[in-house]
Amino acid sequence: MRPVALVTGASKGIGAACAVTLAQRGFDVGLTYAEDRAGADEVASEVVRAGGRAHVRQAEARDWDDAAAVVAEVEEALGPLDALVANAGITRDGPAVRMSAEAWSAPIDVNLTGTMAIVRAALRGMMRRRAGSIVTISSVVGVQGNAGQANYAASKAGIIGLTRALAREAGSRGVRVNAVAPGYIATRLTDVLADAHRDHLLTATAMGRLGTPQDVAGPVAFLCSGTSAFITGTVIAVDGGLRI
């Protein structure tokens, strides 16, 4: 029987790459999306082509009850979760002095509270079974900060603290909780960067390029696998040697 993973925010970018990579490494995969059903269905098709079963579910990341329903539905369709990748996230960039209350709250609610909601829903069963791996998606911005992203940076820094706290809570029950902190990855979020900003990032990155979603998916799949059985409470930077 293939192990089962749930990837949130899996209709595009890093989430999509994680879902397909996990399928290629032997997992059946549940996928959630916020709005892009067509994208999620295409990723599900790639999961099936890789030999896995797929289950697609629309989800509201910040809704605690919906998070519990997502986990229950995926487990009914595919089986008990062996791994969770909490990837769903948004940005609402802007200078702090002009940031509205809604612009502040949205990334905190989706990125941080949404991560806690889905992790809590998955963690109960994993702890009962005394097995499982949870991978949260933070960001280099949560470690270093970034002008114009106070809200996003706060949410991603919070994910690191949450990950380390949960690792301590769940470790004695056989469940591992780790984070991956991507640097600047070529996705729709970086497509809007000005040329000067992009050039600066390339200069500041030891590898001289932006990352790809697949660059992130590999470390995520490693943390979901038994190969990382003695790793918990850690944050893996996937940033190409970025030093700003």
Q: Which residues are catalytic?
A: 152
Long-range contacts from 146-149, C-beta under 8 angstroms, 24+ separation: 147/95, 148/93, 148/94, 148/95, 149/91, 149/93
Please report, for residues 5, 148, 189, 205, 215, the alpha-carbon distance to residue 183 in angstroms, rounded to integers and kept in the order given. Answer: 24, 16, 12, 9, 10
Written as six digits, the tokens of 131 are 């097995």
Distance separating alpha carbons of residues 181 and 157, to the nearest angstrom = 10
Alpha helices in the chain (DSSP H): 13-24, 37-49, 64-78, 101-107, 114-129, 140-144, 150-170, 195-204, 213-224
